[in-house]
Amino acid sequence: MLFGMRFRRQDAAAKVNDPFWHEIEGTPLDEVHRIQEERLREQMDYLKANSTFYQDKFAAAGVRFEEIRTIEDLQKLPFTHKTEIRESLAAEPPFGKHRAAPVADIIQMQASSGTTGSPSYVALTEPDAEMWHEMTARCFFANGVRPGDMVLHAFSLAKGFVGGIPVMQGLQYMGGIDVPVGADGGAERLLRACADTRPRCVVGAPNFVLHLAEKAPEVLGCKASELGIERVIVGGEPGGGIPAIRAKIEEAWGAKCAEMMGGTDLGVTYWAECDARSGMHMVNMDYIITELLDPESGRIIPWEKGAEGEMVYTAIGRQASPLVRFQSGDYIEVIDTECSCGRTGPKIRCTGRTDDMLIVRGANVFPSAINSVITEMVPETNGVMRIVADFEGHTTQGALKVIVERGPGRDPADDNTLKKRIEQRLRDSLVFKADVHLVAPDTFEKPGAAKVAFVLREYPDLP
């Protein structure tokens, strides 16, 4: 026992043939909403008693905690922005003014990757940590991981990143066996561990697991598809939901690829793809209330097939670092509201992050969408690109510079023709004008423990 918690949930092995990890995943939505609202009222009572951050925020908005009784009542409240959390952390380090549990009750801390600024340090009480394990287990189970499976850990295990120790804890909790090498251990050590232990599953960032597969012949003398992997679970960056990248992963590993998504502020992962592999379900509706915000109108819109917007999260049942109406920055499309698997949570694909979005002559452009087009043009391209946003802010009236690695074996003398073809494909697909610069294959560093940054703020010094 650790802090009163089990490493492994007591009934984990008995769930191996269940349709869901938890019954809430297939519960009718009217019953889900009843459970959410009951827990929302409990959360409001907790915040009223324990959170000076939200006491001040609600008072400034002229709203009493007692007024928030239903999901619709949340719309009376202001959003919580990432900048507020950063300011809170700076004002009262390490966990911020929004810490709502005594320091004596905190048993664990985690940090965001810090890709959009300084890392956010998140505190967990014992119930918070067990909630994280439960949410993670549901996602891995939906992705196809089962109790008893050995799982090669190819996310970073360093820097306090939630893809590290919390993923390991979640896998242990659900009865899996984590092979704890981590992306930090390097491709060679990961591949040798894969060959030695023959895990059923691999978890990691999409670009990195592709890189691992490409290195397998050099390191092991065999293809990655010969290692017996059945499931490749990806997350942490765009790619897993892009058809061309998914196809490359599945071909390289000879395995099914499924996607998951989360974020340090709310948990490790809370969206996960089932075997239908047609979008990620929200599988943690009893722990998180999710609203869909239309960024243009500022209104909350219904979860309907085809709807697009930014996700807004409210934690329910959270103690140490609770968040209410947190604007996540994740811009998504609702793929469907029904699924053959029986899960009732909506299915989504993440288009990109609102803070990554560029506006090129009035057209909204997500880096992940450009990456998708370039990947679709393999083998003419190497599937690798970088955007040079060498302008103030996120808006430009000029053509957007895109550096693309040409495909292996392509003659640089044909660059002008390929440049025009890529520019036309980007214009046709994404309705913006690009200025494509072609470079040699493997110009950019291969993926490693850190996330791939698609956007550069100045033109790189290239060979």
388 shares a domain with 327: no
Contacts of 142 (CB under 8 A, 6+ apart): 20, 21, 25, 258, 272, 273, 274, 281, 283, 341, 343
Tokens standing for residue 193: 């561990």
Total length of the chain: 463
The residue among 311 and 117 whose pLDDT is bigger is: 311
Say yes or no to pLDDT of 10 above 80: yes
**What 8-state DSSP symbol labels residue 437?**
E
331 shares a domain with 193: yes
- Look at residue 117 in the predicted model and tell me its pLDDT: 52
* pLDDT tens sequence across 282-291: 999 999 999 9
* pLDDT tens sequence across 110-161: 887 554 456 778 999 999 999 999 999 999 999 999 999 999 999 988 767 7
Residue 372's domain is classified under what CATH number?
Answer: 3.30.300.30
Chain mean position to CA 52: 30
Say yes or no to pLDDT of 1 above 50: no
* List of E strands, 264-368: 267-273, 280-282, 288-294, 299-301, 308-315, 326-336, 347-353, 358-360, 363-365
Q: Could you identify the residue written with the tokens 């895990």?
A: 199
What is the three-class DSSP state of 87?
A: helix
What is the three-class DSSP state of 259?
A: strand
**Is-contact 205 237, C-beta < 8 A?**
yes
Say yes or no to pLDDT of 5 above 60: no
Tokens standing for residue 82: 């990432």
47 shares a domain with 67: yes
Residue 387 in any domain: the answer is: yes
399 shares a domain with 274: no
234 shares a domain with 380: no
- At 237, the pLDDT band (50, 70, 90 cuts) reads confident
179 shares a domain with 100: yes
274 shares a domain with 387: no
- Look at residue 158 in the predicted model and tell me its pLDDT: 76
318 shares a domain with 293: yes
Task: Give the total number of structural domains in the chain.
Answer: 2
User: In which domain, by residue range, is 439 found?
Assistant: 358-456
Picking from 339, 260, 258, 274, the residue whose alpha carbon sits closest to that of residue 305 is: 339
Rg (CA), the chain: 22
Residues pairing with 232 in the sheet: 202, 257
Residue ending a domain, among 315, 337, 353, is 353
Neighbours of 306 (CB within 10 A): 8
Residue 159's domain is classified under what CATH number?
Answer: 3.40.50.12780
Residue ending a domain, among 330, 353, 376, is 353
Picking from 203, 169, 174, the residue whose alpha carbon sits closest to that of residue 22 is: 174
Tokens standing for residue 138: 């549901």
Tokens standing for residue 189: 């050590």
Average pLDDT value for the chain: 91
Tokens standing for residue 22: 């938890």
Query: CA 234, 239, 245 angle in degrees (round to 5)?
Result: 100
Neighbours of 314 (CB within 10 A): 23
362 shares a domain with 348: no
* pLDDT tens sequence across 59-106: 999 999 999 999 999 999 999 998 899 899 999 999 999 999 999 999
The CA distance from 330 to 262, in Å, is 10
292 shares a domain with 231: yes
Neighbours of 67 (CB within 10 A): 13
Least confident of 4-13, 73-82, 167-176, 331-340: 4-13
- Look at residue 392 in the predicted model and tell me its pLDDT: 81
Hey, CA dihedral for 93, 97, 98, 101, is it positive or negative? positive
The CA distance from 401 to 390, in Å, is 9
- At 239, the pLDDT band (50, 70, 90 cuts) reads confident
331 shares a domain with 430: no
Highest mean pLDDT among 71-80, 396-405, 428-437, 443-452 belongs to 71-80
Say yes or no to pLDDT of 463 above 80: no
- Look at residue 39 in the predicted model and tell me its pLDDT: 98
Q: What is the mean pLDDT of residues 194-211?
A: 94
Residue ending a domain, among 353, 384, 399, is 353
Picking from 399, 406, 390, 334, the residue whose alpha carbon sits closest to that of residue 365 is: 399
- Look at residue 3 in the predicted model and tell me its pLDDT: 43
Bridge-based pairing of strands 358-360 and 363-365 is: antiparallel
240 shares a domain with 93: yes
Picking from 260, 263, 22, 4, the residue whose alpha carbon sits closest to that of residue 134 is: 22
Residue 150 in any domain: the answer is: yes
Say yes or no to pLDDT of 374 above 50: yes
**Is-contact 333 308, C-beta < 8 A?**
yes
pTM: 0.84
Picking from 266, 42, 234, the residue whose alpha carbon sits closest to that of residue 135 is: 266
The CA distance from 121 to 113, in Å, is 10
